[in-house]
Amino acid sequence: MIEVNHISKDFVAPKKYPGLKGAIKGLFSNEKITKTAVDDISFTIEKGEIVGYIGSNGAGKSTTIKMMTGILTPTRGTCTVAGINPSQNRRENAQNIGVVFGQRTQLWWDLPLSESFTILKEIYNVSDEDFKEQMEFLNRVLELQEFFDRPVRTLSLGQRMRADLGAALLHNPKVLYLDEPTIGLDLVVKDNIRKAIKEINEKYQTTVILTTHDIGDIEELCSRIIMIDEGKKIYDGSLENLKDIYGTTKTVSMEVRSPEKVKELALHLPEILGVKEEDCRVTFHKENNVLGVTFDKHKLQVPQILSAVMDVMEIKDVQIQETELAEIVKEIYRHGMTEEEG
């Protein structure tokens, strides 16, 4: 459905200088800076997939989406959506896609929501029968009736997001782009939006691409993740696989009785267990006497660690944590950044 081939986007901006002196300097200077926001990214997305497109702020997510929607023309590389090049055949492409940008509404601010839909019906050339059928479906999934006659500017954020989602789906697009669809929403609304997206995807086999910072969106919706950092693709695959690769650590937290012996133990624990130091990191919180051991789950088992510790001291309580996706993502971003600094 979507093919992205070695796509890149450069932005050129005039150089800025700080302060009043800088402002004067800027009057006469003509220096430019080129920034590559998206750097040689390729991927293919099949019909009916829901793909999470994630990355930190400024990683180039929105830029990629904007190239796929036809807003931006790529500096290098090509992309095809449903067989159409979005920047060359913008209008044909627009007929095939639906877009929701979380921070920015596509609706007519001062008009009642119903009027927005009337206008969109004309813009997308939706026939009367299709309009009726689609409105029924959208009303059921997104519950638009309760605010259908109110001006868009009076809607709450959650209502507006539902309205925007409905507007993007009126012409039953083949591809749906969602940029931060749940940003700023409360848990109940988030849940409804996610359910609606799932239902639409199931009913029409709509391909969905969403960017998000919300790990919940990804866990509940996405079968596949593409992760980018500083314009480059750093991961493309399933969520499970990501957890397997990056989420290989577990942490055992033990409340212990004899804190004075901890130092000695921490020093020798990897040796006792017969692993390298980086596969078995030890932390200790003095306030509550909690000893934490973070270890590679392919190399060690929980009982091994427990028995090694219990040989030396008594344990009052034990907790075991799997690394969460949020942690993994954070870790990857951090890793990417440290690499850059080094």
Which residue of 55, 70, 181, 270 would you call a contact of other proteins, by CB under 8 A?
70
| Residue number with CB closer to other proteins (71 or 189) | 71
| Residue number with CB closer to other proteins (179 or 214) | 179
Which of these segments, 42-50, 97-105, 276-284, 287-295, binds other proteins (CB under 8 A)? 97-105
| Residue number with CB closer to other proteins (114 or 248) | 114
User: Who's near 184: CB < 8 A, 6+ residues apart?
Assistant: 102, 157
Min CB(99)–other proteins separation in Å: 5
The Cα–Cα gap between 198 and 193 comes to 9
Residues in contact with other proteins, total (CB under 8 A)?
37
Which of these segments, 117-125, 219-227, 246-254, 319-327, binds other proteins (CB under 8 A)? 117-125
CB-CB neighbours of 301 under 10 Å: 12
| Residue number with CB closer to other proteins (178 or 273) | 178
Which of these segments, 115-123, 262-270, 306-314, 322-330, binds other proteins (CB under 8 A)? 115-123
Which residue of 4, 68, 72, 197 would you call a contact of other proteins, by CB under 8 A?
72
At residue 321, the 3 state secondary structure works out as strand
Min CB(55)–other proteins separation in Å: 14
DSSP state of 258: -
- For residue 127, state whether it binds other proteins (rule: CB under 8 A): no
The Cα–Cα gap between 200 and 141 comes to 8
- For residue 247, state whether it binds other proteins (rule: CB under 8 A): no
Distance of CA 18 to the CA centre of its chain: 34
Largest CA distance in the chain: 79
At residue 40, the 3 state secondary structure works out as strand
The Cα–Cα gap between 258 and 122 comes to 75
Structure tokens at 9: 């986007």
Stretch 2-21 residues interacting with other proteins (CB under 8 A)? 11, 20
Specify whether the CB–CB gap between 83 and 248 falls below 8 A: no
**C-alpha distances in Å from residue 235, one per residue of 4, 41, 284, 320:** 15, 11, 33, 28
- For residue 32, state whether it binds other proteins (rule: CB under 8 A): no
Specify whether the CB–CB gap between 175 and 99 falls below 8 A: no
Which of these segments, 112-120, 158-166, 258-266, 327-335, binds other proteins (CB under 8 A)? 112-120
- For residue 27, state whether it binds other proteins (rule: CB under 8 A): yes
Length of the chain: 342
Which residue of 125, 127, 288, 338 would you call a contact of other proteins, by CB under 8 A?
125
- For residue 118, state whether it binds other proteins (rule: CB under 8 A): yes
Which residue of 111, 189, 302, 308 would you call a contact of other proteins, by CB under 8 A?
111
- For residue 66, state whether it binds other proteins (rule: CB under 8 A): yes
Distance of CA 151 to the CA centre of its chain: 31
- For residue 310, state whether it binds other proteins (rule: CB under 8 A): no
Decide the pairing of beta strands 2-14 and 32-45. Answer: antiparallel
- For residue 221, state whether it binds other proteins (rule: CB under 8 A): no
The Cα–Cα gap between 170 and 140 comes to 13
Which residue of 6, 23, 238, 264 would you call a contact of other proteins, by CB under 8 A?
23
**C-alpha distances in Å from residue 91, one per residue of 171, 175, 301:** 14, 14, 58
- For residue 187, state whether it binds other proteins (rule: CB under 8 A): no
Residues that bind other proteins (CB under 8 A): 11, 20, 23-24, 26-27, 35, 37, 62-63, 66, 69-73, 87, 90-92, 94-95, 97, 99, 101, 104, 106, 108, 110-111, 115, 118-119, 122-125
